[in-house]
Amino acid sequence: MVYSQIQKGTLLIATPDVEMGIFFRGVILVCEHSANGSFGLVINKSLDLELPEEIVNIHNLANPHVSIRAGGPVQTNQMMLLHTSSKLPTQTLQVCDGVFLGGDLQFLQDALSDPNGPSVNLCFGYAGWGAGQLEREFLDGGWYIHPGTSRIIFNVEPDKMWPSILREMGGKYATLSMIPEDLSVN
């Protein structure tokens, strides 16, 4: 069955036609989708970043389930928390089953210092679309869509996520997952 509905919790998987920038082989979690537009976080682009110690003290990082991601091209200095903790219902938005967006600095520091803490992706920036724009991009063949799961979001290595989801989708998508990143080496 092909998943054909864009909604909160949908994964957008860039088609091979998307050839440049942060969206090349990108996987985006749609966090909000309405008639007014959409916003999502790129979840498969690792970011090597030194964070200010008052935000994240790397020496106190006891939680092994924390990673830093480039969330998208808009407001790249803004950090958003994507995580598996349901403990802050008033501060967070449930995006899909077991995946939450939001939380304050205290939540982040508690999560980072807890060896059994939740999985947390610190996402810098986001992707946004105006009214109807994402639907047009989808209909024009820019994206495949697949239901988001906490397993994919937090347990699949970022650089393996794009081919992994395509293989999971099966059929023609599985074939696409084997296309080399650089076609000149083929």
So what's the pLDDT on residue 111? Answer: 92
Listed range (56-60, 68-72, 96-100) with the worst mean pLDDT: 56-60
User: For 115-144, what is the mean pLDDT?
Assistant: 95
pLDDT-derived band of residue 28, with 50, 70 and 90 as boundaries?
Answer: very high
The fraction of the chain above a pLDDT of 70, given in percent, is 91
* Distant-in-sequence, close-in-space partners of 7: CB < 8 Å, separation ≥ 6: 30, 33
Mean pLDDT of all residues belonging to the chain: 90
Categorize the per-residue pLDDT at 89 as very low, low, confident or very high, splitting at 50, 70 and 90.
confident
Per-residue pLDDT band for 55 (boundaries 50, 70, 90) equals: low
pLDDT tier for residue 8 given thresholds of 50, 70 and 90:
very high
